[in-house]
Chains A and B, each alone.
Chain A
Amino acid sequence: MDLTALGTALAIGLGAIGPGIGIGILGSKAMEAIGRNPEAAGEIRTNMILGMAFAEAIAIYALVVALIIKFV
């Protein structure tokens, strides 16, 4: 039985849960912060995008694993 497709889907699907939650928390906190202090919106947005990039890196690792399972 060939379970390659299942493995690929599980790798990226499970791997996306954590970063998804992380990015959600980042976004919500940043919105809260902007709501409290609208003058700092620019700085908060920059830092939010940076933080999201780090959280997203985990999802990218999962994507790489999925691609390796699929194509290698």
Chain B
Amino acid sequence: MLKKLFTPRNLLIMAIGVAMIVVSQMTPFLKVPKPVVSLAAETILHIGSFTISNALLTAWLVMVVLIILALLATRNMPKDLERASNQELVPSGFQNFMEMVIEGIYNIAKSIGGAWTPKFFPIAATIFLFVLLSNWLGLLPGFGSIGILESPHAANVQGYEAVGAILTGTPAEAVEHAEAVAEDGHEYPGYVVVPFFRAPSTDLNFTLALGLISIALVQYFGVKALGPGYFKKFFDVSGFKKGAFDGIVGIFVGILELISEFARILSFGFRLFGNIFAGEVLLGVMAFLIPYFISLPFYGLELFVGFIQAAVFMMLTLVFFATATVGHGSEEHH
């Protein structure tokens, strides 16, 4: 086991890794500042009393990109599908690719939604594409690295020296502290970057809002399929016909159902947020430890995680929709 680990090739790789750590820590121009881990999205501009955070700005960017993609994909589509010749109906290029994507999503929606597919599919596809693009956009160079230089707002955040508009990896010394306070009222030395763009999925507001939309639609489809009887599963008193004990158990199960409905919102929101936020922090820390090349495999990992999380969000939504439209299990017996 150990012999296999210490082959010349592996030893060389380890040596290169250690050498890269040493070199990057010794040479000041190769150093990268430690990432500022900000749980909340930072405000970048104000319109009246309305603050616009970098995550909100990027969410709008995602929408614009999606609209442009949709326009590009449907540009060559014939206006009148009924009268179009077969030649015109054959897609090519980008439209072909998008039709492949949409068809894939449609097949998944159909396998879960069944007869409800026409209702479920637009929501599922929107969630998938929106979340996927939100996850992946944060991986683009410039996201999280281009922004306004500001002095750190908290004592535990390390500020760095800046050369012109570029933040260096040199930590700002405490000596500057007095100067900085004297000059323009800065409380902490050095600068940190407040990025213009930040992946929307790394903002809890975004993911919780999506979770709320999803669970609200679950209730909507449940009522649409089963009528007011849908809410019976939350307030189940039918057990009292069999006796007091069954009735109390039924009420207790209803309370559990109600709690699990709210837990779904939370787990929707935190699953997406946690995965993508942790990924961004991982990439930032890796770039800080060894500035070059080491981040590359983690980029691949984050691409995969972004895709899986978008797929999971879509599939869970579809499964919850499907279970809401099917009546409560015990009701079929009565």
Contacts and interface: CB of A to CB of B under 8 A. Distances in A.
A49 B274 CA distance: 17
Contact of B271 (A46, A56, A67, A71): A56
A71 B312 contact: no
Contacts of A56: 271
B39 A71 contact: yes
Contacts of A63: 270, 274, 278
Nearest to A64: B270
Given A49-B311, A67-B39, A60 B271 contact: yes
B77 interface: no
A17 interface: no
B182 to A, nearest CB: 30
Given A61-B270, A63-B278, A49 B308 contact: yes
B39 A53 contact: no
A9 interface: no
B205 interface: no
B315 A49 contact: yes
18 contacts: A46-B315, A49-B308, A49-B311, A49-B312, A50-B312, A50-B315, A50-B316, A50-B319, A53-B271, A53-B312, A57-B267, A57-B270, A57-B271, A60-B274, A60-B275, A61-B267, A63-B278, A64-B274
Interface in A41-64: 46, 49-50, 53, 56-57, 60-61, 63-64
In the A-B complex, list the 8 residue pairs whose CB atoms are closest, starting with the nearest: A57-B267, A60-B274, A53-B312, A63-B274, A60-B270, A71-B39, A60-B271, A64-B270
Given A50-B312, A61-B270, 18 more contacts: A49-B308, A49-B311, A49-B315, A50-B315, A53-B271, A53-B312, A53-B316, A56-B271, A57-B267, A57-B270, A60-B274, A60-B275, A61-B267, A63-B270, A63-B278, A64-B270, A67-B39, A71-B39
Nearest to A50: B315
A67 B319 CA distance: 29
- Please classify how large the interface on chain B is, using the bins under 10, 10 to 19, 20 to 34, 35 or more: 10 to 19
Nearest to B272: A60
A61 B266 CA distance: 9
B313 to A, nearest CB: 9
A62 to B, nearest CB: 9
Contacts of A57: 267, 270-271
Given A67-B39, A71-B39, A60 B311 contact: no
Contacts of B274: 60, 63-64
Nearest to B39: A71
A61 B270 CA distance: 7
Nearest to B112: A46
Contacts of A50: 312, 315-316, 319
Nearest to B312: A53
Contacts of A53: 271, 312, 315-316
A19 B274 CA distance: 15
Which of the listed residues A49, A50, A60 has the most CB atoms from chain B within 10 Å of its own CB?
A60
Interface in A15-54: 46, 49-50, 53
B203 to A, nearest CB: 13
Interface in B296-332: 308, 311-312, 315-316, 319
A60 B267 CA distance: 8
Contacts of B108: 46
A67 B273 CA distance: 12
A71 B312 CA distance: 28
Interface in B18-70: 39
Interface string B250-273: 000000000000000001001100
A53 B267 CA distance: 10
A56 B316 CA distance: 13
